Structure 1
């Protein structure tokens, strides 16, 4: 391989040196250019890497000057993981944004039973109700403690609707509260490409508890 290397990363063109790409010998990126190249080439003879080219510039800046990026951290972190550049991975994990996501938020959500499954259930219900409608709503019940769960079950019995269409989150044992979980649900549904908002559910007449104690309406807007 020539000491000067031309790359096509997802349609973005880069020129660098072989020594830069092999700066961290244990990385996947270094392995790509160790021995006989393991990459295909494009029509111009540039080595082709089928990854987002926009963020490769941050990877390259780090390899050239040890400059840790301050923009697009989540996306750069994914690329650092793909290329297996351990020093960059560790430095990014120490940044407040990545640390908060990996350590704080994910550990909290790991303590909320069936969190991922409930998100998918919300989306399925919303999509099923979206026929010929601009918006569809999903009723969500959030219970933080076992006691709240019992009261919620009692409250559900007074709801005049199909109980299967109510998505229940909790209970959980962690410091973050209901407002924090609501934000997490909104963030994660929006990350899947949906436009969503939420508000406390307005109780029907005869409802046993204040609806804002447990129930929230998530609105999906389709157009």
Structure 2
């Protein structure tokens, strides 16, 4: 018997009876669909994805391939093809990634690290990609081209006005001045030795172009020795540049080392049969 107040839901009873009858006949059309297993292709993709994630995690986020190389050059990041780096077989970059030598170390992200200025490496890489010779920062790029030993780029940069004037003209002139580089270093040592508790220190230089003036310079130097003053001798040389040109070179090369320097004519005491101001100059180093 039904309890008082309860109503029978005839629709529910009929629905239950229909399902029971269909199940006895093997009809399961009312059952929710069964989701099929992933196909083989999906399984393969899922497997590759898992491997990539594991590889990226292992390499610290970098996913390098045999043909694509990620570089960290002095903190600047680059991505390029392996073939690009190996474009010139005799270059240092080609040697680094040839497989016959140890590769550069890697950073925390798995990129190959090269401890050079990255700001100029972009010009190196652009040349390797498209043979484009840089027109900016030419002297700095020239130094990097020498480091990486990219001979075609070195030769093309040496033909540029900036490098041609420095390498072909000025350097060739200074190569004809005896002991030029050694004398520059000597001037710096003398100036530093005299800089104790001083804002400035000075170095006297005797600059002679002609062979016949060497004896005059030597006699004057004896007088300087009597006054306990150090002097450095430049010359003689056989080339067209004048004494004024050499003085500019001395100033330029010392300033390139980070020193603040100026020069002026230096007159010795009277008693010489020649005008000492034609040969003697005082270089003043300012420290602070």
Q: TM-score range by the shorter chain?
A: over 0.9
Q: What residue is the counterpart of 2:284 in the other structure?
A: 219
In the superposition, the TM-score normalised over structure 2's length comes to 0.73
Query: What secondary structure is seen at the aligned counterpart in 1 of 2:201?
Result: strand
Q: 1:32 to 1:157 in 2, by over 3 A?
A: closer
Given candidates 74, 90, 95, the residue that maps to 1:10 is 74
Asked if 1:55 is matched to 2:120, the reply is yes
Determine the C-alpha separation between the residues in 2 that align with 1:206 and 1:17.
73
Tell me if structure 2 keeps the 8 A contact 1:158–1:207: no
Cα shift at 1:19: 2.1
Determine the C-alpha separation between the residues in 1 that align with 2:266 and 2:149.
46
Cα shift at 1:131: 0.7
Q: What residue is the counterpart of 1:35 in the other structure?
A: 99
Rg comparison, structure with higher value: 2
Q: Comparing both chains, which one has the higher relative contact order based on Cα–Cα distances under 8 Å and sequence gaps of 6 or more?
A: 1
Cα RMSD over matched residues?
1.7
Q: How many matched pairs?
A: 222
Instruction: Give 1 or 2: higher strand fraction.
Output: 1
Determine the C-alpha separation between the residues in 2 that align with 1:69 and 1:211.
47
Query: What secondary structure is seen at the aligned counterpart in 1 of 2:239?
Result: coil
In the superposition, the TM-score normalised over structure 1's length comes to 0.92
Asked if 1:137 is matched to 2:199, the reply is no
Q: What residue is the counterpart of 2:134 in the other structure?
A: 69
CA deviations 1:8-54 (Å, max 9, x no partner) are 01111111222221222232212212237611110000001111111
CA deviations 1:91-139 (Å, max 9, x no partner) are 0111122122222211211111111111111111101110111000111
Cα shift at 1:205: 4.3
Determine the C-alpha separation between the residues in 1 that align with 2:250 and 2:129.
39
Consecutive unaligned residues in structure 1, runs of 5 or more: none
Q: What residue is the counterpart of 2:26 in the other structure?
A: none
Given candidates 148, 157, 161, the residue that maps to 2:227 is 161
Q: What residue is the counterpart of 2:5 in the other structure?
A: none
CA deviations 1:120-172 (Å, max 9, x no partner) are 11111101110111000111100111211112223334445236x11110111
Consecutive unaligned residues in structure 2, runs of 5 or more: 1-64
